[in-house]
């Protein structure tokens, strides 16, 4: 019996026609040479590991917290909004739940804030660290049937990954640290997509 999988992601996990049509997409993209669905990391992973995709909820440019580029409100696309309001009930039945983000929080210069597990206000969700706490709390409470993995991009600085590592450890969530992913303009090429798929597969087998 095939294991099932759901994904919460950003541009790295998008492909036109396979995500919510109102979301911004990055792929297919000639610049990176990723032009078919079979060249995406997540389709490769599903094919190679015999996984059935339940939902891929990915939005290009999305931050985990509710602050985006130029300090603008990004609650329309943030991870904390999408996991709570836009991911399906069916996704919560997945055997594997992959959360792949943090890159846009880094690129946009979103405020980091402090790790905070309780009494989170709307203002806290505008900062990366408390928003990530909120995200992990929600995921572990609502995706009880899933093994949850947080995927860390190899370009993330320590001030981002240290938060992710500490919070994931607090909630007992597994962390996948990507290494040496080939990219053009910050986004995975075909070679990079294959590497992402292989590295994730080593953790979930």
Q: What is the pLDDT of residues 91-146, one digit of tens each?
A: 999 999 999 999 999 999 999 999 999 999 999 999 999 999 999 999 999 999 99
**Residue extents of the structural domains in the chain:** 3-204
| CB neighbours of residue 58 within 10 Å | 28
Give dist(CA 137, CA 167) in Å, integer.
Answer: 9
Q: What is the pLDDT of residues 177-187, one digit of tens each?
A: 999 999 999 99
The contacts found for 70-78 with CB under 8 angstroms, 24 or more apart, are 70/108, 75/125, 77/23, 77/24, 78/125, 78/131
Does 3-204 carry CATH code 2.40.30.10? Answer: no
In the predicted model, what is the mean pLDDT of residues 167-180? Answer: 98
In the predicted model, what is the mean pLDDT of residues 56-85? Answer: 98
Q: How far is CA 203 from CA 103, 133, 148, 151, 174, in A?
A: 21, 23, 11, 11, 9
For residue 43, the surrounding DSSP H or E stretch is: helix 41-49
3 state DSSP class of 171 = helix
Give dist(CA 124, CA 116) in Å, integer.
Answer: 8
Per the CB < 8 A criterion, the answer to whether 124 and 116 are in contact is yes
Confidence of residue 205 (pLDDT cuts 50, 70, 90): confident
Q: Which are the contacts of 123, defined by CB distance < 8 A and separation ≥ 6? A: none
């Amino acid at each position: 019996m095939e294991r099932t999988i759901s994904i919460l992601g950003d541009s790295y996990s998008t492909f036109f026609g396979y995500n919510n049509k109102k979301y911004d997409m990055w792929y297919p993209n000639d610049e990176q040479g990723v032009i078919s669905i079979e060249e995406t990391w997540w389709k490769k992973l599903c094919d190679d590991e015999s996984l059935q995709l339940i939902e891929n909820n990915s939005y290009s440019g999305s931050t985990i917290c509710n602050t985006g580029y130029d300090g603008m409100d990004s609650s329309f696309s943030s991870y904390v909004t999408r996991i709570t309001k836009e991911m399906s009930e069916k996704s919560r039945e997945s055997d594997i739940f992959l959360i792949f983000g943090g890159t846009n929080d880094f690129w946009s210069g979103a405020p980091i804030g402090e790790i905070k597990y309780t009494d989170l206000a709307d203002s806290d969700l505008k900062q990366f660290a408390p928003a990530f706490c909120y995200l992990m709390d929600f995921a572990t409470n609502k995706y009880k049937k899933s093994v949850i993995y947080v995927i860390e991009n190899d370009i993330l600085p320590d001030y981002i990954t240290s938060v992710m590592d500490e919070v994931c450890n607090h909630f007992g969530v597994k962390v996948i640290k990507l290494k040496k992913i080939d990219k053009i303009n910050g986004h995975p090429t075909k070679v990079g997509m294959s590497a992402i798929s292989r590295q994730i597969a080593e953790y979930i087998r």
